[in-house]
Structures are given as C-alpha cells and as structure tokens.
Structure 1
Amino acid sequence: MKHFSEISESALRVVDAAEGLIQQRGYNGFSYDDVAKLVGIKKPSIHHHFATKGDLAATVAQRYTHRFREQLLRIEGHHAKAADRLAAYAALFENTYAIDQRLCVCGMLGAEVNSLPAGVTHEVSRFFEVNTDWLATVIADGQRAQQLRPLPEARALAETFLAALEGAMIVSRSSGSARGPAGVAHTFLLSLLA
C-alpha cells in the first residue's frame, strides 16, 4: 500500500469519497459503485488506484490518523492547560459530528474490525494508539501540575475519554440527542478538574 501522500489527485478524490461513505455507512455499507458515482468515474478507474476495497479503506484510515495528529499538534500549540487541551480535543469529535452526523472514521471501522482486512485493522489500531498515548500524556501532565485530579491513572482516563467521545457520536446519532461529544466531554472534564 502506498502512503496517502504519494497518491495522485484523482486517487485523493476517491479517498475523500470513501471517507465520507465510511463515516456515514461503515466499511461494509459501501461499494466501489458508490464511490464511482460520487466521484464521477468508472469503477475500473478506482481499481487502478486501489486494487482492493481494503487498500482504499486502509489509505482512508492512514490519512485520517495523519490529519488527527496534525490537529493534536495544533492543540498543543494553542493551549497550555490540560483541561483546555482536552476540551479542544473533544471539539475535534464535535466538529466531525456536526457535518451530517458523521462519525469518526476509525470509530466506524473499529465497530467492524472482525470483518476488516488486516491492513485496515492495523491502521485503525494505530489511530487509537496515537490518540490514547496523546491523551494519557496530556492527562498525566495535568495531574502533575495539579490541574486535574490525581486519580484514576492517566492511561485509564485517556481510554475512558476516547471511548466516551466515540460512544457519544453513536448514541447521539441513534437517539437524536443534541448532547453529542461536546456535552459528554463537558461532563467528563468537570469530573476531572482538581
């Protein structure tokens, strides 16, 4: 599989279309026909860029993780306090959800992990590892600075916060609740403040 930065402009349009479809329907809910219709090309053109649907989905997840990492760096550059960083992190999920109730690409793929090709599961695992590691560092730094409660342990809180945000998207879409990721994050952060 090529790195997403090495693919052509027309292949990127395919990745864009597949990303939206994954966020709305999941991996098993779209086909190359769906992508071809969105992009306005024929199905063989997609196969030219991505031999398999797994290759396409892995590229989508790889690029999504890369963009998320860029956002994490921006958060670090704009916010010094742990609570502010965590609130800005939650806003990433809220902003995604605000676009037609789209869900996190890797959250959607993670729900289907037992039916995904190995390359896709690898990229999904990488997304969650990157996010959990970053959150654990932010929380541990906040605990050391006495900005956040010292317990529970930072990694457990990181996993809980990420799961809460992913779950908030699903529950909000399913129930029509207006609370969404921002509301869940607000409650979570209030419980963490020292």
Structure 2
Amino acid sequence: MTDEIRGKAAEILDAAERRIRCGGFDSVSFRDLAADVGIKSASVHYHFPQKANLGEAVVERYGERFIAALGDPDDPKESAKTRIKRLCEAYRISTLDQGMICLCSVLGSATLELPPQVSRAVVRFFHRLMEWTDRALEDADGVTSALGPPSAGHIIASLQGTVILALTLEKPSLFAETQERLLRDLA
C-alpha cells in the first residue's frame, strides 16, 4: 500500500503508526484505533482484515515516505557527505523532532515476534535503506576514518542506535555527536 490510501484508512494508519512507534506492535488494538479515529472496530477490520495486514501497510507506507524524503542517492551535483547529511536529518526529524522511535527500529527489535508479513516488510525497509545508503556512498571512494571506509551498515546502525539512546536518556546531543562524527568521516 502507498500514500494513495485516503480517508479513514489513512487515519487508521496514522493512528497505528503513532501507537507502534510509542509502544511497539503489541500495543496496537483495533478497538483503540477505532477510538482514535472515531469509528467502530468493525470498520478498522473492513480496511485491514487482520492486524498483520495493518502492520504491513503501516511499514510499507512509512518506508515509502522515509525513502522518498531522502531524495536521489545518485545526484551527481551532491557529494556523499551531503546525501548522508540528508539521511541523518531524516532520522532526526523522524525521531527526535517527533519524540518517537523510528518505526522500523521499534519493529526491527521485535522482528522475531512479528507476524511474518510484517517482519518481511521491515526487512524490505532495511534492504531499501541499505541500498539507498550504499548508492549515496558510491562517490565516497578514498574516504576513510580510523575504522576504515564508511559503510551503509555502520552508518545506519549508528543512526538507529543513537536515536534510541538520545530519546531514552533525553540527550539529543548524543544524536548531534553521532551525526557530526559520521559526517566528519566523509569529509
């Protein structure tokens, strides 16, 4: 599913995303979503027959929006540093500015317990994010830090971990430090 979802279905997805990002997949109930949106629980089931359908739709929509916000990873007018800065900013906006953990961080940490179709959607998100980041780094040849050349896995893991720490410890400066280090390694 994509952003073409309109009306009540979009409102349900918005409410489900907020609840998942604040409390995990198990914190979502169709009854709560119905109350959030102002409809009957049966209406939630009409749009999303099972919770797994809902979870998959939430992840797919989140992934589409997140990756689209990153823009073109191959823009020849931009450096790898500019692209990775945009990735850092997307994490900051998605997490620190909204005061919620990245949806796929929450679900990624519970992937073994999720319904298979939701888990597969989370895996697809991270594959797409890794692919975007690999492509964004392509012109960073020759750039190395003390740990060697930057990698998509290192950058994404750093951002995922730092948003969790920054929110948990209520220290946004941790995110700023990580972003600065990642960008310095690309200078």
TM-score (norm 2): 0.89
Deviations 1:137-176 (A, max 9, x none): 2223221xx4x3287355xx21011011111111112111
Deviation at 1:97, TM superposition (A): 1.7
The residue that corresponds to 1:149 in the other structure is 144
Partner amino acid, structure 1, of 2:129? N
The residue that corresponds to 2:8 in the other structure is 10
2:103 to 85, 99, 105: 105
- Partners in 2 of 1:83 and 1:101 — Cα distance? 26
Deviations 1:99-138 (A, max 9, x none): 4421111111111111111111111001100111111122
Deviation at 1:73, TM superposition (A): 2.2
1:87 to 82, 85, 88: 85
For structure 2, the residue ranges without an aligned partner over 5 or more in a row are: none
The residue that corresponds to 1:136 in the other structure is 134
For structure 1, the residue ranges without an aligned partner over 5 or more in a row are: none
The residue that corresponds to 1:185 in the other structure is 179
Deviation at 1:14, TM superposition (A): 0.3
The residue that corresponds to 1:29 in the other structure is 27
The residue that corresponds to 2:158 in the other structure is 164
Deviation at 1:76, TM superposition (A): 5.7
8 A contact 1:36–1:46 mirrored in 2: yes
Deviation at 1:10, TM superposition (A): 1.2
Deviation at 1:12, TM superposition (A): 0.9
125-134 or 24-33, which deviates more? 24-33
Deviation at 1:72, TM superposition (A): 2.4
SS at match of 1:80: coil
The residue that corresponds to 2:112 in the other structure is 114
Deviation at 1:47, TM superposition (A): 0.6
Kindly tell me the number of residue pairs found equivalent between the two proteins: 186
TM-score (norm 1): 0.86
Partner amino acid, structure 1, of 2:110? E
